[in-house]
Every structure is written in structure tokens, then in C-alpha cells.
């Protein structure tokens, strides 16, 4: 069921780094993004794919993890992503991709989860540093990075209590993500 996949598709930030993500998988997941909606059908997004340790080591320090968890610097060696996708926008086509990037990211992550992998969208990226490291031409804007691998953490969904939406990790290492209730999301301003 799609809902089960959506439920399983949490933001995973700790992985079994020893499990590699085959390039063929990464390509299939981009294919799911390729087939997704695109504003004006412009299809301006591009992807750089990485699944080897030396590249992953270069990309990792440019990313920021779990902003609410101030005392956690991010995944340790051994639990880091074993693959990345760098999502780019081709400025020669347009500088406005509306919400294509999010739709595509969700298609990629759902595909990954369906195959037993998982990941996290990383919007907090040192973009100029990453551009230099990967030799990305100015024609392409770095939109976000998808960190991918074999998840090695449990993530559960909680209810939002007293408006607190900050995710947190308990003493057993379980990551908790508060979600607002359905009745808070569905609004009606009539009478």
C-alpha cells in the first residue's frame, strides 16, 4: 500500500555504511523522479549520483544534520550514508522549478524505501564548497542533496503535544517525529 510506504519513508540519518547502494538502483530511483510532475513540463532537474566511499567522504562534511538535535553532530563513521544524489537545477532552462524538486525527492525516497533503503533530504548544504568539490558548473544551481543508504535507526511518529514539533531521540536511540493531527491540517473558514 502506498500509505505504508509513506509511513516507512521517514528521514533516516543513520545507516549501515557497509551496505552499498548499487548504481543501478540510484538510476532507477531517478527514473521515478523523471516520470513525476514538472511545472510547465520543463524538467529542469539534474542529478549527480555517488555511491563510492571516496566521493561520499568528500560530500559528507558539506551537509548539516538534524538542526533540532543540537548535541548530535551527525552520523558517525560506520553509520554514514553510502550514497548521495545531488539535485541540480539547470539555469539554462529556467530559474524557477516551483515544487518540482520536492516532488522528485519524494519519488526518489519512496522508490528507495520500497527497495529496503532510505534516506534524508538535506537542504542545509554548504553549496559553494560542494560546487568546488564536485566541479559543478555555474549553469547548475545546487538545490538539495539526498543522503541515501540502508537505514540503521528506528524512527517513530508521535502526536504533536503543546505545539512542539521538534523531533528528538530517546535513551534507546529511537528517533521521534511529532506530526500534527489531521484535524489541525484540514481547515474550514466558513461559518
Ligand X SMILES: Cc1cc2nc3c(=O)[nH]c(=O)nc-3n(C[C@H](O)[C@H](O)[C@H](O)COP(=O)(O)O)c2cc1C
Which stretches of the chain bind ligand X, using CB under 6 A?
10-11, 13, 64-66, 120-124, 155, 167, 177
The residue among 86 and 121 lying less far from ligand X, judged by its C-beta, is 121
Question: Min. distance of Cβ 12 from ligand X in angstroms?
Answer: 8
Contact (CB, 8 A) for 166 and 27: no
The values of phi and psi at residue 3, to 5°, are -60, -35
Shortest Cβ 120–ligand X spacing (Å) = 5
DSSP letters, 59-71, are HGGGB---TT-TT
Q: Which is nearer to ligand X, 22 or 67 (CB)?
A: 67
Compare residues 94 and 168 and give the one whose CB is closer to ligand X: 168
Task: Name the percent of the chain in helix, strand, coil, to the closest 5.
Answer: 30, 25, 45
Query: Which one, 6 or 23, has the nearer CB to ligand X?
Result: 6
User: Cell 554548504 identifies what position?
Assistant: 126
Query: Which CB, 61 or 123, lies closer to ligand X?
Result: 123
**Sequence-ordered strand ranges (E) for 33-174:** 45-50, 83-90, 118-122, 140-149, 155-159, 168-169
- Region of residue 116 (left: phi > 0; alpha: psi -120 to 50; beta: else): left
Give the residue among 21, 66, 93, 51 at the shortest CA–CA distance from 169: 66
- Least separation in angstroms between CB 190 and ligand X: 30
Closest CB 155 distance from ligand X, rounded Å? 6
CB 80 within 8 A of CB 55: no
Nearest approach, Cβ of 26 to ligand X (angstroms)? 19
Amino acid at each position: 500500500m502506498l500509505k505504508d510506504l509513506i509511513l516507512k519513508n521517514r528521514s533516516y540519518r543513520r545507516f549501515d555504511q557497509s551496505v552499498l547502494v548499487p548504481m543501478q538502483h540510484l538510476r532507477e530511483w531517478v527514473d521515478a523522479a523523471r516520470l513525476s510532475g514538472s511545472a510547465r513540463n520543463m524538467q529542469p532537474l539534474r542529478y549527480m549520483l555517488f555511491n563510492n566511499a571516496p566521493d561520499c567522504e568528500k560530500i559528507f562534511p558539506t551537509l548539516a544534520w538534524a538542526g533540532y538535535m543540537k548535541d548530535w553532530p551527525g552520523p558517525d563513521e560506520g553509520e554514514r550514508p553510502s550514497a548521495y544524489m545531488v539535485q541540480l537545477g539547470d539555469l539554462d532552462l529556467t530559474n524557477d522549478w516551483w515544487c518540482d524538486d520536492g516532488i522528485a525527492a519524494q519519488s526518489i525516497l519512496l522508490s528507495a524505501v520500497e527497495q529496503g533503503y532510505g534516506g534524508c533530504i538535506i537542504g542545509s548544504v554548504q553549496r559553494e564548497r560542494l560546487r568546488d568539490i564536485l566541479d559543478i558548473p555555474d549553469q547548475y544551481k545546487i538545490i538539495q542533496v539526498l543522503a541515501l543508504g540502508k537505514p540503521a535507526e528506528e524512527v517513530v511518529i508521535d502526536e504533536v503535544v503543546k505545539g512542539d514539533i521538534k523531533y528528538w531521540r530517546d535513551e534507546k536511540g529511537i528517533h521521534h517525529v511529532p506530526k500534527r493531527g489531521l484535524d489541525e491540517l484540514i481547515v474550514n473558514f466558513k461559518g
